[in-house]
Structure 1
Amino acid sequence: MNKDEFLEELKDIAAIQGTPGQEMKVVRSLVEKISPYSDEVEIDHMGNIYATIHGSKPGPTMMVSAHSDEIGCVVRDIDDNGFLRIERTGGMIESLLIGRKVNVNGHFGVVGVKAGHLQTPEERKTIPSIYDLYVDVGATSKEEVHNMTIQIGDPISYISDIETFTNADLICGKSIDNRSCCVLLLQLFKELFTEKNFAGKLVGVIAVQEEVGLRGAKVATYKVNPDFALVLDTIPCADTPDSIGSGYPVGIGRGPVFPALAGGGVRGNIMSPQVKNLLIHYANELDVPYQMAVMTGATTDLAAVHLEREGVLAGAITFARRYSHSPVEVAHLRDFKQGFDLLKKMITDADNWGDLGFIK
């Protein structure tokens, strides 16, 4: 994987608005990009993408997935003065919305902020509820908003391009969760398509609506019915001054993360020992550094994937990100390169995995 090419693709894909249930433009772009490197491409009614490469010899059906949606909001109401009230779709945090530039279904807007001069001492210490926030799109009436073709239910997302730090391997912007892994999957298909030097069938899935309940992945896994699945995603880390010592020792630039446990209760998963051992085996073989994690406060599409049909043997390769669910998510390109090398090696070596039965 070429890091420069990865970064340029990410800048392009991350800039596209694609909140949960509104991923159409992202899906269109990704289909255009991945089709030349696939034997077949299909889109289902929800917007999930299925790109397939047939390997050069018989073997398992392997599914590798990433999700296309970003956190966002929708227009909940439009008042008589042209201001928009909002509702969240995914993990939008009120304190990070205030005073931000936003994209309202293709129109520029800002999330309003009460001037400090007008705030009471109590107001300066509190964070408004999302139901008290509003978006200003420069309109002066409800009619003017309607003339802009903005309607109730329209998507709202951050405006924040992908940029690099002085250390060019550090990237920052919106939608690194999880457009980065969509690009990683695209890079995998580019490298595997020509020679197809693996056993079985590879189905790359770009799933929708992860941020609102892992919905697309559930539908996609049922359709693909894979023998084995790997989920690619980014996850929160704890390497900043406000989180060091939290008991969650995960940071950027330290290699891909293998979540041994993710989520809690019915909306989580415990990675199977077989898959965990496979990941560790190939990481060691390639001398790829990795991080083990127990992340009860977050999950991935794996929580839905592994429960479909009779159960799917599945795991996750994830990548640490700072400032999760913000317009300034930060990640390290080297982590993605190392994760890519690991993923490619696993796929191309599938005929050497042996029996992955539960009792071994």
Structure 2
Amino acid sequence: MKLFKETFYEQLKVLSSIQGPPGQEAPVVKTLVDWFKPYADHVEVDHIGNVYAYLNGKKPGPTLMVSAHSDEIGCVIRDIDDKGFLRIERTGGVIESLLIGRKVNVNGHFGVVGVKAGHLQTPEERKRIPSIYELYVDVGASSRNEVYEMGIQIGDPITYISELEQFTNKDLICGKAIDNRSCCVLLLELFKSFSEREFSGTLVGVIAVQEEVGLRGAKIASYKINPDFALVLDTIPCADTPDSLGSGYPIGIGKGPVIPALAGGSVRGHLMSPQMKKLLIDYSNKLAIPYQVAVMTGATTDAAAIHLEREGVKAGAITFARRYSHSPVEVADLNDFEKGLILLQGMISDLENWGELNFI
């Protein structure tokens, strides 16, 4: 039997390689539906592309929704000029400085984000980062019609080409779409681990779409399921590199799952309830799982949408630190996901004893 980290890495390598930016997650969805079917009582996909996997425990009990999002940051084509170069618009938190000179997947075709030769740049140009509206993608075409003949159109997706790889320390992985295909794989492993249904209640695994453009899929999913409790699985930026040490945000890879007590800005975000925060910390301590508590105003999770549906949902998040967020070289530690699985297994096995988590 393969060890967790080996299996996790192999599945993530496949899943992260599939193109699936916001609104265009269908190839990822199809793969995940096939992967979940052997381990769920029922799997379905809604009109927007959310995946729902249902698993009933041995006894009646609460309904717990555990979610992860399937989309990755990316771009779409907004214009094609008469020489066959593509102009682009972002979908999600794409950073211009990380686009320049990159290899990209243009709806299944190879392309590169062009870069003006240094020999032709003025001293001023060398000091600034071009706007996304100045950038262009070269797919090797010489005319607009040639681009159309390739099957490329306005609105088609563009994502990084960046294969998942391991460092010499094989616990550390690097590539695109670790945010958040890693947690899609973690959710799958969670379902596998409950094949004997050793829990009470109903577990609903949700793979939500369009998180990177406003938590859209999670809003629909939480309304549909109306769970008693919800746990969101996601990755979270960390600050353990030389450019961010001393930032007052003491989160790093390899230090265990992250419990985001606050995620998001003052208007849109999620303030985890003291009851849910205590629940996560208590189970972490009980299971001897190292954990980190975060206050992160610059990032959020699907919990921000989920907890506001219907009459309010008792929601929490278990997240995993990643370096170089929203880049083609995101870095994470497989040990964190392994510890996250143990925490989830322990919590869900005891789901009937969570209580009501009453506000007062």
TM-score range, shorter chain: over 0.9
Q: Which residue of 2 aligns with 1:18?
A: 20
| Percent of residue pairs identical | 75
In the TM superposition, what is the alpha-carbon distance from 1:266 to its structure 2 partner? 2.4
Offset at residue 274 of structure 1 (A): 1.1
SS at match of 1:64: strand
Q: 1:223 Cα deviation (Å)?
A: 0.2
Partner Cα separation in structure 2 for residue 127 and residue 94 of structure 1: 7
Question: What is the letter of the counterpart of residue 264 of structure 1?
Answer: G
Out of 50, 56, 59, the residue aligned to residue 58 of structure 2 is 56
Q: Secondary structure in 1 aligned to 2:267? A: helix
1:141 corresponds to 2:182: no
Return the match for 1:73 from 55, 72, 75: 75
SS in 2 for 1:114: coil
Aligned residues: 358
Aligned ranges for residues 214-233 of structure 1 at < 5 Å? Answer: 214-233=215-234
- Name the CA distance, whole Å, in 2 between partners of 1:222 and 1:237: 31
- Alignment partner, residue 86 of structure 1: 88
Q: Secondary structure at the match of 1:266?
A: coil
1:50-95 deviations in whole A, cap 9, x for unaligned?
A: 0000110010000000000000000000000000000000000000
For the residues of structure 2 that align with 1:157 and 1:101, how far apart are their CA atoms? 9
Amino acid at match of 1:199: S
The TM-score, its normalising length taken from structure 2, stands at 0.99
CA offsets per residue over residues 230-260 of structure 1, 9 Å max, x none? 0000010000000000010000000000000
Instruction: Decide which of 6, 31, 49 is 1:29's aligned counterpart.
Output: 31
> Cα offset for 1:344?
1.1
Matched residue, 1:314:
315
Aligned counterpart in structure 2 of residue 130 of structure 1, from 116, 129, 132: 132
When the two chains are superposed, the root-mean-square deviation of aligned CA atoms in Å is 0.6
Instruction: Name the CA distance, whole Å, in 2 between partners of 1:46 and 1:198.
Output: 30
Could you tell me which of 165, 168, 192 is aligned with 2:167?
165
Equivalent residue of 2:256, what SS?
coil
| Whole-Å separation in 1 of the counterparts to 2:133 and 2:325 | 22
Q: 1:241-260 to 2 correspondence within 5 Å? A: 241-260=242-261
Secondary structure of 1:278 counterpart: helix
Quote the residue 1:354 is aligned against: 355
Inter-partner Cα distance in structure 1 for 2:310 and 2:346: 27
Query: Following the alignment from structure 1 to structure 2, what is the Cα–Cα distance between the partners of residues 165 and 125?
Result: 32
Larger displacement relative to structure 2 (210-219 or 257-266): 257-266
Which residue of structure 2 lines up, in the alignment, with residue 114 of structure 1? 116
Aligned equivalents of 1:357 and 1:315: distance in 2? 14
| 1:347 alignment partner, SS class | helix
Residues of 2 paired with 1:26 and 1:348: CA distance? 29
Find the aligned partners of 1:308 and 1:40 in 2 and give their Cα distance.
24
TM-score, normalization by structure 1: 0.99
Q: Which stretch of the first structure deviates more once superposed, 330-339 or 260-269?
A: 260-269
2:61 is paired with a residue whose SS is: strand
- The whole-number CA distance in structure 2 between the counterparts of 1:172 and 1:136 is 26
In structure 2, the residue matched to 1:262 is: 263
| CA positional deviation for 1:354 | 2.3
Quote the residue 1:204 is aligned against.
Answer: 205
CA distance in 1, matches of 2:73, 2:161: 12
Structure 2 Cα separation of the partners of residues 348 and 206 of structure 1: 21
| Deviation readout 1:10-31 (Å, 9 max, x if unpaired) | 0000000000000000000000
- Offset of 1:127 from its aligned partner? 0.3
CA distance in 2, matches of 1:7, 1:344: 20
Structure 2's unaligned 5+ residue stretches are none
What is the match of residue 181 of structure 2?
Answer: 179
CA–CA separation in structure 2 for the residues paired with 1:68 and 1:286: 29
**Equivalent-residue separation in structure 1 for 2:268 and 2:108 (angstroms):** 34
- Distance in 2 (CA, whole Å) between partners of 1:297 and 1:198 is 36
**Counterpart amino acid of residue 119 in structure 2:** H
- List alignment gaps of at least 5 residues for structure 1: none
Residue matched to 2:335: 334
Q: Distance in 2 between matches of 1:344 and 1:312?
A: 21
Render the CA deviation track for 1:131-188: whole Å, top value 9, x for unaligned: 0000000000000000001000000000001100000000000000000000000000
Per-residue deviation, 1:355: 2.9
What letter is aligned with 1:93?
I
